[in-house]
Amino acid sequence: MSQNSTLKEKYPPGDFGVWIIIYVELITFGLFFIGYAFSRRANIEMFNHSQLMLETTSGFINTLLLVTSSYFVVKAVTSIQNMPHDRREEFNKKASKWLLLAMLFGAGFLVNKIFEFSYIFGEGITLSTNKFFMFYLLLTGFHFMHVLLGSVILFNIFQKTRIYGYTVEDHKGIVSGAAYWHMVDFLWIVLFPLVYIIR
C-alpha cells in the first residue's frame, strides 16, 4: 500500500447510515433520470414542445442557490473541523452563521420552486397532461421533498451549533447532515440540464 493511500480514510465522512440513504437515493433518482431520457426518445417532439413551457431562468436561479448553499455548508463543516480546542464557542458561532446562510439559500430554492409549481398548475398542467410533465412533476416534486427534509436537517445542525455542541472530536452529526445536503445539490445539478435544457 502506498503512503498516500494509508493517509486516506477507509469510510466516507460522517455516519455510515447517511451514506446508505445516499446510495438508495442515487438508485431511485438514477432510474428516474434514465427513465426520463429513454421516454423522451419515444416522443421527442412532444418532450421538446412541453419543455418550452418551463422557465429555464427559474431552474438556473435554483441551481445557483443550491450550489452556493452547499458551499456555505462546507464552510460550516470546515469551521468545526479546524476549530482549536480552546475556541469552541467562537468556531461553533462561525459555523452557525454559515449554516444560517445555507438555510436562507435553501429556503430561496423552495420559494422559487413553489412559484414555478403554481405557474405550472395555473396552466392546468397535471401528472396526466403528458409524459414529459409526469416526469417533470415527479422528479422536481420528489426533489423538492428532499430539499425540505435537508432544510430540517440543516436547522437541527444549526441549533446544535448555537449551543456550541460540536467539538473537534465529536462532529459526526454536522458532517452527516452536510453529506445529505450535498446529495440534494448534486441531484439537482443533473436534473437541471436534463429536464430544463437538453432538447
Partner 1 sequence: MKRILEIVWIILVGLTVFAYLLGHLHYINSFFVAILLLTTFIKVQLVLDYFMELKNVTGKYRWIPSIWLTIVISLIAVAYYLPVSSTH
DSSP state of 53: T
Query: Would you tell me which residues interact with partner 1 (CB under 8 A)?
Result: 5, 8-13, 19, 22-23, 26-27, 30, 33-34, 37-38, 40-41, 44, 56-57, 60, 63-64, 67-68, 70-71, 73-75, 78, 178-179, 182-183, 185-186, 189-190, 192-194, 196-199
CB of 186 to partner 1, least distance (A): 5
CB of 180 to partner 1, least distance (A): 10
| Nearest Cα residue to 86 out of 168, 187, 190, 191 | 168
> Smaller CB distance to partner 1: residue 137 or 183?
183
- The three cell numbers locating residue 154: 440543516
> Smaller CB distance to partner 1: residue 146 or 162?
146
Which residues fall within 8 angstroms of residue 153, CB to CB, at 6 or more apart?
177, 180, 181
CB of 142 to partner 1, least distance (A): 16
CA dihedral (141, 109, 62, 129) positive or negative? positive
> Smaller CB distance to partner 1: residue 30 or 141?
30
CB of 39 to partner 1, least distance (A): 9
Q: Which residue is it, cell 412532444?
A: 46
CB of 163 to partner 1, least distance (A): 25
Rounded distance between C-alpha atoms, residue 199 and residue 194, angstroms: 8
> Smaller CB distance to partner 1: residue 137 or 185?
185
Which CA distances in Å does 78 have to 39, 74, 82, 158, 160? 42, 6, 6, 14, 16
